[in-house]
Structure 1
Amino acid sequence: MGWWFGLGLGLATFPWLAHAFSFQSAMPYWLGWAAVAALAAYTALYWAVSLGLAHALTRSAPPAIFAIHAAALFVMAEWLRGWLLTGFPWNPLAAIWIPVPEVAQTASVIGAFGLSGLTMLVVGMAAAAARRDGLAPLFASLLGSAILVSATQTAAPLDTQVRISLVQANIDQSEKWLPGEAERQLGRYIALTRDEDVAGPRLVFWPETAILLPLDANPALQRAAVAGLGPDDLLFTGAVGDAPDFQHTNSVFVLDAAGSILARYDKAHLVPFGEYLPFAAVLERFGAARLVPGAADFVAGPGPATVELEGLKVGVAICYEVVFPASVVDSADRPAFLFNPSNDAWFGWGGPEQHLAQARLRAIEEGLPVIRATPTGHTAVIRSDGSIAAGLPAGRAARLDTYLPTASEPTLFAVWGNAIPLGASFMLLVAGLAVRRSTGGSKN
């Protein structure tokens, strides 16, 4: 039953992936729907294993004991899903609470994996109570406790006086990589960036691969990119970067108004089948190719890093990197905010919304504002409590001018990471075993 539920959930939430295959002429479109089915079947295994093990451990126990084991094992399974085979923690169960901030705030303590497990536990206890399981009331207060924890969280701090501009050029994926488009698209970003009426310095943010050519190897392109900046502005832009042995990286560059590169971050967690093709020698025989055009795979950077610019510390998580809990920030050098440039233009319906929800979970977990720039939406400024401070509608070319939100104090999750939900799930397993022994394993 766990596998069938996970399969249905995946089939309902992953169809956006099939749309991506419509932009890759080297692959038949039907492979997109095959990928959706395969990914749904794979992620369903984590539901099957956690619920199957819980059932095996609690065959003759009351339903409440099963709920305890299922929730604890589900947390561990979700953590494994974010790690095995490079990880795919997309769209955790915790994301359903984003519209309910009183509950979503518990992610600042137990993270997305912990909140997913807590959801499973509360639902399981409700089902046990419906079956008149006498143990259910012992755990029925868990959701109330979660809300109480979130109520103790202070409100998101006020904005800083740092002016920021997010540029959304509304460039569709069908035109992004066409021959001759690079210069025209750069012109659109420059035109939207330029504003002679803006006084004072700004931080300007462009999306992932807004610049399609290697930026670090082209001083003329660097000077052209900053044509819309004021004299004291800084530009954060996604671009292709050069790497040794004629390879390339998916990078973010920070440029000043003179076109000098002040800092660079290279994406570390690359997207399988997107930026590189695993098992290429085998899969290419079946017509598979990377979703991103080009003959060579991208190479990965070293991992989370904090960039310091004139006293302002910035973390960067490019696109898909933001979906990994406890892996988006250099905890030894905490930034003031997280920049999340992304290209969601190749996502189908539902994908950009799911991606935004996960960025909001990272803001809650880390207690950091997230600046999210995309070419077609959803471009947004996310406060450290996960709320949207400002945003642009999807499918519209525009610039968002606002102020940088302030970071909160480091959350418990920011300090301890996934050790909290994993430790709590282990203790929950021990508690479940203890309660089962005290009741003699009876279903009554």
Structure 2
Amino acid sequence: MKIEKSKSLFERANNSIPGGVNSPVRAFKAVGGDPLFIKSAKGAHLYDEDGNKYIELINSWGPMILGHANELIEEAVQKSLSNSFSFGAPTKAEVEMAELITQMVPSIEKVRMVNSGTEATMSAVRLARGYTGRNKIIKFEGCYHGHGDSFLIAAGSGVATMGSPDSPGVTQGTANDTLTAPYNNLESVVKLLEQNKDQVAAIILEPVAGNMGCVLPKEGFLEGLRKLCDENGIVLIFDEVMTGFRLAKGGAQEVFNVKPDMTTLGKIIGGGMPVGAYGGKKEIMDFVSPSGPVYQAGTLSGNPIAMAAGLAMLNYLNDHPEVYSQIAKATEDIEKGYQDTLKKLGKPYTINRIGSMISLFFTNKKVTNFEEAKSCDTQLFGKYFRQMLNNGIYLAPSQFETLFISTSITADIVGQIVSANERSLKVV
């Protein structure tokens, strides 16, 4: 596999871009080697600048449910392009998108468009604070909600503790208002609420974690959080930037039958284009300016090109619910193929999967929270990643990222993935 052009581009990039990349995980630091520079993608395949072809299992971190460069979405974008790229003014497409989201996600009664998942979570937390008149939030270790200051907080020692800044530039004052708890640990949340009575505005979490690898909620965890929020006047926020419209038309909240007060959404509502949204109960959303006092704005919010792409995507998913069983079946077949190989080779492993999200952990223990995920053999994963790349499979370049399967992953491609997995595992 030749990667001379990618190497040259990375050297150039380091002269003008911090670390040579515009998002840290792209740098391949967790798996070794230099990043590949992608030139194009179609269906289930990526093509790098050197002309190498890969089956890819990231799908732009989730939104490409219908595969790359889907004709339906391309057509919608091309049609919209002729009307101009941005207006900074209301459009019909924004209204149609809001109506479609509220139809597909019953807990969302009103929704505000923004430009990214990070912007959505930042805005949702600000709104929860403004609505409740409280300052503190509870987040869970290993749940990633973007790079907003409130979310870059690491848990300290003990079951749950006051946060400390996890990145320079995050103030201790911000950290003091962010409480952290282990994922799937309801008792730690109860303890935090007792220690901070009537001070917590919101509890925010990924209902299925995707940023410590794929980690599912234990039975009763989401239901327990819903009950605690009801009892304490707290806004429950589901960050469904990854799971929204991927696990079901109504997201993870539909799968687990737990309704949050607010939901954040991401790239999938733009068909993969830069976009996000936050929504929820009418009485909460009406606190957003210009209806209410909580300010949030954006010139590019509801961008017409992103709305056109997103409407094409969501309308298709809404009209074709069989997509969800299709991509879940493909993912299940990958899981079975992996299990057969790992058992045959005697490798320690745990596989977490729900629907079309899946993670392979190199450990023989269950992975239900971030501490357990961090105990996996990350060095082995790095070797495995590089071997899979050599065998034509492009995985997420981190043990702590879930994989996403699209409708482009046919039975034949599943077979290629499983075969590449076996060849890779034999040499790591």
Q: What is the TM-score of this pair, normalised by structure 1?
A: 0.30
Higher gyration radius (CA) = 1
Higher relative contact order (CA 8 A, sep 6+): 2
Q: What is the TM-score of this pair, normalised by structure 2?
A: 0.31
